[in-house]
Structure formats: structure tokens, C-alpha cells
Amino acid sequence: MERTSTPAQTAERTDEAAALADFLENFRLLCSVPHPSGHEKALCNLLQAWAGGHGFAVRRNAADDLLFDVPATPGLEHLPLAALQAHLDMVCIAREGTPFDPLADPVVPVLDAEAGVLTASGTSLGADDGAGVALTMSIAKGLMPHGPLRILWTTDEEAGMTGAEAVTADDLAGVKYLLNIDSEESDTVIVSSAAAALVVATTAPRMEPPAGDSALAVTLSGLRGGHSGMEIGAGRCNAIIALARALAEMRKTIPFALASFTGGTADNAIPAKAAAQITLAAKDRAAAAAFLADMERTLRSRYGDREPALALATEETPLPPAVFAQPQADAILAYVTESMDGVHTMSPDAEGLVESSSNLGLIAAGPDGVEIRQMPRSSVAARLEEIETRQLALGAGCGLAVAVEEKSCPWPVKPGSRLVAAIAGAYRRVNGTPMKVSAIHAGLECGAFAALSADLDIASIGPDILGAHSPGETLLLPSVAKTWRLLETLLPSLG
């Protein structure tokens, strides 16, 4: 059946405590079903049933995006159609030592009502973008007044934005304003974001029996990691890069062979941990341990307070049956150490904004294959191509096949945006202070939507999220209420 407006929609203002309780109920529902990028189908099934149970006629496309329309609050039918959009997938990161299968285990939210924060038990929380989904669920239920709405929940934002790219112009037909609820600062409206690409280097392993009679596991851990767009300018240590450099430096004085090298958890997360297994002569084991202990001190000195828990450890392991042929091992380390990583250029127009960067986010090198994944970003197409070209040349020189597999769209500033002006005005009315207007270096789905129509007016807002894409991810609950009040003021005024 088609849903009709409920009496709750006619209320001018919602009880904040009731709204927050409803939000938390929605969020816990999302957490109950595993939904890492590329594995959102079970959550889509759950939410499709949820929306149908509330009387909405849901459309679902081949990418498992969900769309449905919500009728206006009585008296606001004259307002233009607005879309509220959020993404369903999350980056699943577990704290070291926490048993967690992202495909099978639910996220366990931990509420600290006194502190006003929501975290997860040993894992990332998924407030990016579960907070946006949960807010739109409450709005769809009729807990605040609004004009005609189209709810759009997309998939695979974190890994490839394939959900956003599957949205068509017909899906947004009639929409005048699109509000993306995926920002992480409640006092800021985002008006532009960077494009991103995925650069993947691969090769078939060339293995041989180890010459050494001893083996060591070398692990760099305890790093802060973080979002490769939002925190790329914070100068944090990339575990894969740092470990590769330590091993390459050690090879200058201590011979060893590389048996495996793994690290990272997601393309768009700064790697917080990396590990390698090496083989060497037993007589060189003590020298290698001493060298790496000295390297740990060097890294601690270099990164200081930015990486207070940094640890570079060695442990004896059984001798593996095979190691990389030395020229290939050297080529793998060279590709990693010479890859573009971190900030490339800063914006000449916005002070403090990263214009171009790259994050080497994943490596899996062993007898089953070699894959090294990197995510460059830029708000300037030529800069993005510059990084891609550099990696293609570096890969060719190292004997690796390098391909640019995916690209997202940039989201340029829309001069004279009425939506941005309306958001800023509503924020001032609610909070008595001006709202910040900003561009971000991270990627947002808004670029894909902007490419569908030059007339579409788009902006991004959201509550405060700290440490997204990390086990310390924290949602600040007062900012959820703040975002709710902003929306409650904004939506009935979108004339």
C-alpha cells in the first residue's frame, strides 16, 4: 500500500529525546546485519522489508540501491521534491586482538549516555554512513515536517561508488534539491569534493626454496590509521610504506629473502598494520632484530605524538616452503617505497585543503599472488592523471602490471546554490552562529549525482564523527540532535 501522512508529521517540533531514541533504534538495526562494502545485500533485504512495512513502495536497482518516495506533511505539498541520500556500506576495521569476521559478525554499538557518545566494541562503528541512514529512517517515519521527499540509499560508496554510479537521471527525475547526509562535521556544509581512482598493481609470484635456515615475522602495528581523504594531511604513518622502507634499508647490510608481505584493511583507510615474513641465516637473526629495533626508535622519533602506540616487532617463525626470487622481492619493495603516498599538492584556492593525494592502502604478496592497491584523489583531473601516470611508469619499471580500475566523479562548486544558502540560513536560525561552507578532499557520491543534471542543487551535511574507518570511530550524540534540529528547520522551508 502507499503510505499516507501520519499525525506525527503535523507536529511543528519533535521531542528531541524521542527523536534520538528512534535514531538509536534505527542505528542498532543497521548494526545487527554485517554490511561491509560489496556485501550489503542482507542489509538491503532488511531495509526493503522495513520500508515496505511502513507503507513505502520501494524500487531496487541492480546495484541494490533502494529508492522510495515519502509524501509531504499536510500543508507542505507545494514544496519542490527533495532527495535525502545516504550510503549503506561501511568500512569494517577491528582493533588488533579483537576477533571479528566482517562478513558474519554484527557490529556491537556501545552507548555512553553520560558522555554522549556512541562507539563500537572493538571495531569501527559504521556511523559513516549509518548515521545518515538512521536519520533518514526517522524522517521517513514522519517524525518531522517536510515537503515531498525521495529517499535514496546507495551501496558500495566506500570501495567504488558503484551504487551512486548506478543511479540514473530517471531516478532523480523531478528532484530539485539533493541533500547528502554523509558529512562528518555538524557545523559545516560541504559544497565540493574530490574525485578518486583505484590503481591496482599485480604480478604472478616467482617463488623458490629458501636459502636461509631461519625465519622471522616482522610486524609494524599500533598505528592510528584513519580515513585516507579526511586524515591524509595529518602526517600519520602508513604501515605498508614504513615497513617496506625498513626492509629495503635492512637489505643493504643484512641479506634476507621475502616470503610474504601483507597489510592494510581497505583502499581508503590509511594502513595501521603491516606484516612480512622473511628468511635469513640463523647467524644474522640477532643483527636483524637489532636493526629493526633501531628502526622502531627512528620511526617513533619521526612520528612522535602522531603515532604514540607504534611498535615494530620481530618473532621467530617456522621456515616457509618458498620465498620470492630476489629480483622480484626487490621489485615489490621498490614499487611500495617509491609509490606516491600522502599529500601531493595543496589547494591554491582554499587554505589548508589538500588538492591531491594518494594512499597505498592494501598489499597482499605471497605464493598465491601479488596485489598492491592504491587510491589517489584530486579535485583537479590533471593532478589525478599525473599520479596515475607516475604509478603506471613505476609499475612497468618494477615488472608489475598496473591498471586504473575505477574512477569517481569530482563534485564542483555550484555558484549561487539556493540549497547551500537555505542550509546556512536554517543553521543560523537554530544555532545563532554562521555555518562553515567548505570543500573536502575525500570523495562523496555527490559527484556522480551532479554529473546526471547540471540543474540539480546538491549539498552535504551530517553529525560529528571522529575517527571514521578506525576501531575508535565515535559518533557524538549531541551533534545528532543538532543535525536533527537543522533538518527540522530546513525541510519545511525549501521553497
pLDDT in the model for residue 353:
82
Average of pLDDT values for 193-200?
91
DSSP string over 46-112: HHHHHHHHTT---EE-TT--EEEEEPPPTT-TTSPEEEEEEE--B---B-TT----TTTPPP-EEEE
Q: pLDDT tens digits for 438-457?
A: 988 887 899 999 999 989 99
Q: With 0-12 CB in 10 A as exposed, 13-18 as middle and 19+ as buried, what is 168?
A: exposed
Average of pLDDT values for 283-291?
97
Walk me through the domains of the chain, giving residue ranges and CATH numbers.
7-194+410-493 (3.40.630.10), 197-407 (3.30.70.360)
- Contacting residues for 215 by C-beta, under 8 A, at least 6 apart: 259, 277, 278, 279, 280, 316, 317, 318, 319, 320
pLDDT in the model for residue 5:
38
pLDDT in the model for residue 9:
38
Taken in order 118, 424, 233, 90, is the CA torsion positive or negative?
Answer: positive
pLDDT in the model for residue 494:
93
Q: pLDDT tens digits for 64-99?
A: 999 999 999 999 999 999 999 999 999 999 998 999
Looking at residue 95, its amino acid is: R
What's 491's DSSP letter? G
* pLDDT classification of 406: cutoffs 50, 70, 90: confident
pLDDT in the model for residue 73:
97
* pLDDT classification of 292: cutoffs 50, 70, 90: very high
Secondary structure of residue 282 in the 3-state scheme: helix
Q: pLDDT tens digits for 207-239?
A: 999 999 999 999 999 999 988 888 999 999 999
Q: In the structure grid, which three cell numbers stand for residue 175, read together?
A: 528532484
pLDDT in the model for residue 137:
98
pLDDT in the model for residue 407:
78
The percentage of the chain sitting over the pLDDT mark of 70, rounded to a whole number, equals: 97
Q: In the structure grid, which three cell numbers stand for residue 250, read together?
A: 635492512
Quote the CA–CA distance of 467 and 134 in Å, as a whole number.
19
For the whole prediction, is pTM greater than 0.95?
no
Residue with cell 526493503: 48
| CA 475 to chain CA mean position, Å | 15
Quote the CA–CA distance of 227 and 231 in Å, as a whole number.
5
Name the β-bridge partners of 220: 274, 312
- Contacting residues for 70 by C-beta, under 8 A, at least 6 apart: 3, 56, 139, 140, 146, 148, 149, 150, 151
Residue 11 has pLDDT above 90, yes or no: no
Average of pLDDT values for 462-477?
94
Quote the CA–CA distance of 260 and 279 in Å, as a whole number.
10
Q: In the structure grid, which three cell numbers stand for residue 428, read together?
A: 543560523
The percentage of the chain sitting over the pLDDT mark of 90, rounded to a whole number, equals: 84
Residue 461 has pLDDT above 90, yes or no: yes
Residue 415 has pLDDT above 90, yes or no: no
* pLDDT classification of 405: cutoffs 50, 70, 90: confident
Name the β-bridge partners of 312: 220
pLDDT in the model for residue 13:
56
Average pLDDT value over all residues in the chain: 94
Residue 4 has pLDDT above 50, yes or no: no
Half-sphere exposure at residue 56, Cβ-oriented, CA atoms within 13 angstroms = 24
* pLDDT classification of 362: cutoffs 50, 70, 90: very high
In this structure, the chain runs to a length of 495
Q: pLDDT tens digits for 235-276?
A: 999 999 999 999 999 999 999 999 999 999 989 899 999 999
Secondary structure of residue 435 in the 3-state scheme: coil
Q: pLDDT tens digits for 166-194?
A: 999 999 999 999 999 999 999 999 998 88
pLDDT in the model for residue 443:
79
Residue 8 has pLDDT above 60, yes or no: no
* pLDDT classification of 396: cutoffs 50, 70, 90: very high
* pLDDT classification of 412: cutoffs 50, 70, 90: confident
* pLDDT classification of 14: cutoffs 50, 70, 90: low
Average of pLDDT values for 326-353?
92
Q: Which long-range contacts (CB under 8 A, 24 or more apart) does 248-256 make?
A: 248/333, 248/334, 248/337, 249/295, 250/288, 250/291, 250/292, 250/295, 251/330, 251/333, 253/291, 254/280, 254/284, 254/287, 254/288, 254/291, 255/280, 255/281, 255/284, 256/212, 256/280, 256/284, 256/288
Q: Are 175 and 169 in contact (CB under 8 A)?
A: no
Q: Which long-range contacts (CB under 8 A, 24 or more apart) does 327-333 make?
A: 328/203, 328/205, 328/206, 328/399, 329/257, 329/258, 330/251, 331/398, 331/399, 331/400, 332/258, 332/261, 332/365, 332/370, 332/372, 332/398, 332/400, 333/244, 333/247, 333/248, 333/251, 333/258
Looking at residue 297, its amino acid is: R
